[in-house]
Copies of this chain bind each other. A is one copy, B any other.
Amino acid sequence: MINQLVNNIKKLDAPIVVGLDPMLDYVPEYIKKSAFAEYGETLEGAAEAIWQYNKGIIDATYDLIPAVKPQIAMYEQFGVPGLVAFNKTCEYAKSKGLVIIGDIKRGDIGSTSKAYAVGHVGKVAVGSKTYSGFCEDFVTVNPYLGSDGIRPFMEVCKEEKKGMFILVKTSNPSSGEFQDQQIDGKPLYEMVAEKVAAWGDELMGDSYSYVGAVVGATYPKMGEALRKIMPKSYILVPGYGAQGGQAKDLAPFFNEDGLGAIINSSRGIICAYKQDAYSQFGEENYADASRQAVLDMKEDLKQAWVK
């Protein structure tokens, strides 16, 4: 699946992933109205609204982008109906040829981590049958529990040819509270990155590893150091756009081959129609605004990408 991700990125000349993180506030009124008319102001109504909203964005952008990254929290907040919408979104995006990066940030140990892995990127056995409860191609994973939490994901990923992005240095302001602490003269996030590189060596695709990393666009200097520590790991880079990361800061995240990083934008794309720059589209054409925002992002990223 890492090979497919790399191929998609090359083919489209776009190291871009669209974060499908729908807040109900983002969804145009006409979609909510229609969903609530059918299901009422219920969890099912909310789920239908975010699914229809996502579908519009996928339809308008799938030919431009290699991957989408649904953030499961935004679905999970609506309980079981929300997770039905998560699944529908993943399945639909997959049917359009997109790689699915489930931003689930799970992390546990042993059989519990294994359960998350089989649930999201593998298959679970029920009697003589097997099923995929969810159907992502990659998932994000939290490293705080150490190897015991990562290896079960690696086992499942190896079997299924799927992958993961391990949180190394997150994009948020307080990420330094623990991640930046100095250990024997180097920060914790570098220690995590060294582990990511070692885990990644065990699970290589053609040119990149099935084990990638998350490093925030908001920390470009750290990105530069981390790029060198994990040369074979794809870096999933959140924080571009709404969180303040700028294209000029992204160059260090890429390798000399022009590959090795995929930049996420969520609000900047899915909520483009609410920005001044795209207000001419209007609410009814929110998906067209998202398409234009992807095109603009692609152009903007060329500063970083084309060395």
Contact = CB atoms under 8 A, between A and B. Distances in A.
A23 interface: yes
A172 B144 CA distance: 11
B188 A175 contact: no
A111 interface: yes
A124 B24 CA distance: 10
Interface in A172-206: 172-179, 181-184, 188, 191-192, 195
Interface stretch (A41-49, A60-68, A287-295, A299-307): A41-49
B127 A41 contact: yes
A73 B113 contact: yes
Contacts of A24: 125-126
A25 B146 CA distance: 26
Given A172-B146, A177-B147, A131 B79 contact: yes
Contacts of A80: 80, 83-84, 87, 133
Nearest to A46: B126
Contacts of A129: 41-42
Contacts of A52: none
Q: How many of these chains are in the complex?
A: 2
Contact of A172 (B110, B118, B120, B142): B110
Contacts of A111: 23
Contact of A144 (B36, B71, B167, B195): B167
A79 B133 contact: yes
Interface of A: 21, 23-24, 32, 36, 41-43, 45-46, 71, 73-74, 76-80, 82-84, 87, 105-113, 115-116, 118-120, 124-129, 131-134, 142-149, 167, 170-179, 181-184, 188, 191-192, 195
19 contacts: A36-B127, A42-B131, A43-B131, A76-B116, A76-B134, A77-B115, A78-B119, A78-B124, A79-B132, A80-B133, A105-B142, A144-B167, A146-B172, A147-B177, A148-B174, A148-B175, A183-B183, A183-B188, A188-B188
